[in-house]
Amino acid sequence: MEVPVVVLDTHGKPVVGLKRDDFELLQDRDKQNLAVFEEIRTTKERVQYRPGAPGVYDNQVIGSAAGKRLTIIVLDTLNTAFPDQAYARSELIKYLSREVIQDEPVALLTISSGGTRVLHDFTEDPKVLIAVLKRFDGKLPMSEVVGASLYQSLYQNLEFQHQVATLPTRIDATLQALQHISQAFAAIPGRKSLIWISGGIPFQTEEPVGLNRFGGRNWEPTTTRDFRLLYSQTFQALNQANVAVYPVDPRGVTGTHNIAYSNPRAGMQVLADMTGGRFFSENNDLSGLFQKAADDCADYYMLAYYLPADLKPGWHELKVKVTGSGRAARARNGFFTVAPPKGEKEVAERRRLEIDMALVSPLNYTSLPIAVRWLGAPSGSGASKTARFQISVAPSGIFADESQNNAMNLEFVAVVRDGRGKDVDHFGQHIEGNLKPAILTRLRQEGLNYNNAVVVTPGDYQVRFVVRDNLTGRTGSVLAPLKVQ
């Protein structure tokens, strides 16, 4: 279990030069033996993706393995009132105009009812991001799309009913978006600060409750769906990708109040606590909050220990202590574990869910490095044409369990979608077996190539390819355009 730790002094500056003995890590109040201790000094090195040859579609990150100082800014229009979106954008432009962020890689994304979208990949030029923000007009959140009348107190009950209907969709879409973002940046080394500008979502890990629960408190629409597994998967994805979430509530102290938000700050606080970030609210100086969040990804320490073999499913508390006065350690405060799947059917179902997540993501998953190329022009004598392709898994993506006689277990999946987003063809193949030592050596040197084909009628398509290593859980994906004449 890896636990990134930020240590700050009384002035909020990173404390460097600490040693292993300066730290104490506790899980469920029991002291753990540190198997790994490393001080990470980050760089402002540019994030680079391997340039593919013509007709080759690649997800591989290149460059040094040094930890990078990276900030990911996410505008959440799905859960944020429209007036608050405008204020957040103006404050974000103010933050990006500061000289202090020059030469620091920043990426800009958005979450909306249409999914996750990259407005601009990592760039060291804030002027480019400012230009993008000025063109971005925002979206009405799902809780407001039924009309402006929801802002009027006369229609509060209507708004509550609408929020009840959209709440499960918003929670599901938001958590999936955070997983997609985690997977997209998983291959980039270093601790990433994700500034999540959002009105937030409720947080539930208890048994699902009824839709009409008021409890004598403020409006609290809830859902009968149990999101515990999805929350657990989201926290796991964020932590494995070394992403710390910094939720920023754009409503500030005097921002708009909309009953469509059901205790959202609790959910924002949980996301921060579970990833080692900080939750910022009740402050109208959003640009200053953005700066504080970005500063946190400068330098940090990586602690790691082995989980107990008898670890039970559920919540497990983490606490990191650091010696010396005037020092404060911040790390995630715990983690969820879920019961392992029971039987092959449940194992297959969880794999399918993870692959489905990769298939619907608009972002490339990067933890497993792959490349795709089309093998010649689509051909065939009838109305349908056969388009042949090759998926290449890079040598660094090859894994075999040597304790299980060099076992390998891979899933290859693809979906072909037309211009309207409709699935028109798909394929999937499971490859499992034990490799001879000579073959494993060659694969680790040259990588693995997998050939197959899809069959479609003439037209323009987008094909999402996904490869999952079922032994490690690492997943890679790319999107390849296909034109059939």
pLDDT 10s digits, 233-281? 899 999 999 999 999 999 876 544 444 444 778 889 989 999 999 999 8
d(CA 242, CA 236): 10
Q: For 39-55, give one letter per residue: b (16+ CB within 10 A) or e.
A: ebebeebebebeebeee
pLDDT 10s digits, 39-49? 998 877 777 77
The answer to whether 222 and 209 have CB atoms below 8 angstroms apart is yes
User: 319 forms bridges with which residues in the sheet?
Assistant: 26
Amino acid 100: pLDDT: 61
Amino acid 337: pLDDT: 84
Domain boundaries along the sequence of the chain: 2-42+301-337, 48-297, 358-484
* pLDDT (average), residues 386-398: 96
Does the pLDDT of residue 213 top 60, yes or no?
no
For 358-484, CATH number out of 3.90.550.10, 2.60.40.2550, 3.40.50.2000, 1.10.3470.10 equals 2.60.40.2550
Amino acid 257: pLDDT: 47
Does the pLDDT of residue 158 top 60, yes or no?
no
Instruction: Given CATH 3.40.50.410, say whether it is the number of domain 48-297.
Output: yes
pTM comes to 0.84
The answer to whether 237 and 178 have CB atoms below 8 angstroms apart is yes
Specify the DSSP class assigned to residue 80. S
Amino acid 138: pLDDT: 66
The answer to whether 55 and 373 have CB atoms below 8 angstroms apart is yes
pLDDT 10s digits, 44-83? 777 777 777 788 999 998 877 777 788 999 999 999 988 8
Q: Determine how β-strand 70-76 pairs with β-strand 106-112.
A: parallel
End-to-end Cα, the chain, rounded Å: 51
